[in-house]
């Protein structure tokens, strides 16, 4: 097993960190690896916010589903899907005049551009995760940055063609975090298909979730719940934070399509 492969297989989310700063040279090397991520057309359709202001970290704790470890993380990066920079460059380059001369209307960033920028940002984020792990740092993705758009828009000064797709927190993990068991993944036969997508049958689902069903909590927490699918729906998909994330993403998409934050 080569070191990169081992790093990927051993990586797990870390949510508790030692009170220990990350050396500047290590941070610089993580950033160097991040910026070498594959990118559509070499456009680098993302920006990274390096959150160093403790008051902003404290606010993000509250707006990102009350997760206190965000405030204690020595390094917090927010990855932005970013078409604002290219759009501003097109304006600077007088693309409007060129389009007018050709009898065309200058195109604005649309849905496909957003998805492409999201892909760029997330690929870069995963480069950061692997690089950080190789230096002995732990990390955790915070998808909740997609919630509370109106608050985050003002807090982070986000123009219309920006979508905060992910937040990462980094730090040296505590011993307890290092010793914590790794989570399992679904068997590849439920994830990887040859040539065409395959919908799963009821028997497939029973096999796929058999191990997770064994961990189904008991007692008042699962009142009226009879299986793992119902439990997970209530805990994640149907939860208040998930509903808020969809509402917030809808508002960000509207701002993107309207060109107005």
- Average pLDDT along the chain, 261 residues, taken 10 residues at a time: 92 96 98 98 98 98 97 98 98 98 97 98 98 97 98 98 98 96 96 98 97 84 86 94 97 96 81
Asked if 180 and 192 count as a contact pair (C-beta separation under 8 A), the reply is no
**Domains of the chain in sequence order:** 3-181 (3.40.109.10), 184-212 (no CATH)
Question: pTM of the full predicted structure?
Answer: 0.95
* Nearest alpha-carbon partner for 45 in 113, 141, 128: 113
Asked if 137 and 170 count as a contact pair (C-beta separation under 8 A), the reply is yes
**Residues 26, 4: Cα–Cα separation, whole Å:** 17
């Amino acid at each position: 097993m080569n070191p990169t492969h081992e790093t990927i297989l051993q990586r797990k989310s870390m949510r508790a960190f030692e009170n220990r700063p990350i050396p500047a040279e290590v941070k610089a090397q993580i950033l160097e690896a991040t910026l070498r991520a594959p990118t559509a057309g070499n456009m680098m359709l993302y920006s990274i916010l390096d959150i160093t202001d403790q008051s902003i970290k404290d606010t993000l704790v509250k707006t990102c589903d009350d997760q206190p470890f965000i405030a204690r993380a020595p390094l917090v990066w927010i990855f932005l899907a970013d078409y604002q920079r290219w759009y501003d460059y097109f304006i600077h380059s007088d693309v409007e005049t060129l389009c007018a001369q050709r009898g065309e209307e200058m195109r604005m960033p649309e849905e496909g551009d957003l998805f492409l920028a999201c892909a760029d940002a997330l690929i870069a984020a995963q480069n950061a995760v692997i690089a950080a792990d190789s230096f002995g740092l732990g990390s955790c993705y915070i998808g909740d940055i997609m919630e509370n758009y109106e608050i985050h828009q003002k807090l982070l000064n986000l123009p219309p063609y920006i979508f905060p797709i992910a937040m990462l927190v980094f730090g040296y993990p505590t011993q307890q975090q290092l010793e914590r068991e790794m989570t399992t993944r679904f068997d590849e036969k439920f994830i990887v298909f040859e040539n065409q997508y395959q919908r799963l049958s009821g028997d497939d689902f029973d096999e796929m979730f058999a191990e997770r069903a064994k961990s189904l909590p008991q007692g008042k927490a699962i009142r009226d719940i009879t299986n793992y699918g119902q439990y997970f729906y209530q805990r994640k998909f149907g939860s208040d934070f998930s509903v808020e994330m969809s509402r917030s993403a809808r508002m960000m998409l509207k701002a993107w399509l309207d060109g107005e934050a």
